[in-house]
């Protein structure tokens, strides 16, 4: 997925002119040649004209709006697949405790790289097991406390590393939500995470799990290499400076564009995520036997 990141200073308007789509003061590009399929909007002023929005939709360009700390606010996916039978199958599967346990186990095993004990037979117990593994994971990385990104729009980062992780994981979340929409699944119906009023994307929470550690690594490396990229306000909340978010987005994008081995071929991690979610959707239609999720190996 090729990403155009828009961040201040603005305004950075997107218009449709007689010569094509124009972003800010850049030369207009004919729609078939527009080189991006995702526009990620950070802390930026501007607007998208109605004709431009229609054209972006026609050519399948997703628009993701990011909060200041990296929380995905809205994701507009023009090629959202309307697959009612698949969504019904997903809902039916989500009401089956055994299927939920099967999916939750597969997600956490992919995330942690650790085989869970058969004694974990409920989603709640799997969550508890993951919590213990996560504590060990963060301790190994030298992080005593991780901020709660995603929980509210006011998620607070208590360290530079927290701030970098929040923003990087927000980018990943936009990618996963886009893939879910393109496959035709319902992002509100999850298996590991509960669907509650403040979590309108429970399935997105689920399906980022296998890729979290990969993106966490990018964010942690960035925070350690560029501590000058962060500021702290009077409430002791850290965030990326406006002129630094672009470089972190570039690092995440570079990682997701890496090619890895997958089912005998080389594909980008971006493409792997979409393929894995399609595989999961097919399994949900006939949820018999185990399900597994691939944890990308960037060294493969």
pLDDT tens digits, one per residue of 177-225:
999 999 999 999 999 988 764 555 899 999 999 998 889 889 999 999 9
How far apart, in whole angstroms, are the C-alpha atoms of residue 89 and residue 281?
9
CATH code, 169: 1.20.120.920
Q: Is residue 292 a part of any domain in this protein? A: no
24 and 91 inside one domain: no
**18 has a pLDDT exceeding 90:** yes
Q: What is the pLDDT of residue 149?
A: 39
Q: What is the pLDDT of residue 137?
A: 72
How far apart, in whole angstroms, are the C-alpha atoms of residue 21 and residue 59?
11
Q: Is residue 293 a part of any domain in this protein? A: no
37 and 173 inside one domain: no
How far apart, in whole angstroms, are the C-alpha atoms of residue 197 and residue 200?
6
Query: Which one has a higher pLDDT value, 82 or 88?
Result: 88
Check if the beta carbon of residue 177 is closer than 8 Å to that of residue 204.
yes
Q: Is residue 162 a part of any domain in this protein? A: yes
For the record, the structure tokens of 162 come out as: 């927290």
180 and 230 inside one domain: yes
Residue 225: domain span = 84-285
Pairing label, strands 20-23, 14-17: antiparallel
Q: Is residue 176 a part of any domain in this protein? A: yes
Q: Is residue 71 a part of any domain in this protein? A: no
How far apart, in whole angstroms, are the C-alpha atoms of residue 197 and residue 19?
44
27 and 148 inside one domain: no
Residue 131: count of CB within 10 angstroms of its CB: 9
Q: Is residue 75 a part of any domain in this protein? A: no
Q: Is residue 236 a part of any domain in this protein? A: yes
Pairing label, strands 38-41, 3-6: parallel
Number of compact structural domains in the chain: 2
């Amino acid at each position: 997925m090729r990403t155009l990141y828009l961040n201040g200073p603005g305004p950075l308007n997107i218009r449709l002119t007689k010569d094509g789509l124009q972003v800010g003061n850049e030369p207009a590009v004919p729609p078939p040649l527009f080189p991006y399929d995702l526009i990620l909007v950070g802390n930026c002023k501007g607007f998208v004209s109605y004709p431009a929005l229609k054209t972006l939709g026609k050519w399948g360009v997703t628009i993701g709006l990011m909060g200041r700390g990296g929380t995905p606010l809205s994701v507009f996916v023009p090629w959202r697949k309307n697959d009612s039978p698949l969504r019904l199958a997903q809902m039916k599967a989500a009401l089956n405790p055994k299927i939920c346990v099967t999916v939750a186990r597969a997600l956490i095993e992919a995330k942690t790289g650790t085989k869970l004990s058969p004694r974990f037979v409920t989603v709640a117990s799997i969550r508890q097991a993951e919590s213990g593994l996560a504590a060990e994971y963060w301790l190994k990385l030298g992080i005593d406390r991780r901020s709660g990104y995603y929980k509210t729009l006011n998620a607070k980062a208590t360290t530079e590393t927290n701030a970098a992780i929040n923003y990087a994981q927000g980018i990943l979340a936009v990618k996963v939500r886009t893939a879910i929409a393109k496959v035709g699944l319902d992002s509100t119906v999850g298996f590991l995470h509960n669907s509650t009023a403040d979590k309108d994307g429970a399935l997105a929470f689920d399906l980022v799990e296998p890729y979290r550690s990969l993106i966490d690594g990018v964010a942690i490396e960035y925070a350690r290499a560029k501590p000058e990229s962060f500021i702290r306000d009077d409430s002791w909340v850290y965030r990326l400076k406006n002129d630094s978010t672009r470089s972190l987005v570039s690092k995440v994008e570079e990682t997701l564009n890496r090619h890895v081995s997958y089912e005998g071929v080389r594909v980008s991690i971006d493409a792997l995520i979409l393929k894995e979610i399609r595989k999961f959707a097919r399994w949900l239609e006939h949820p018999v036997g185990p399900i597994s999720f691939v944890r990308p190996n960037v060294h493969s």
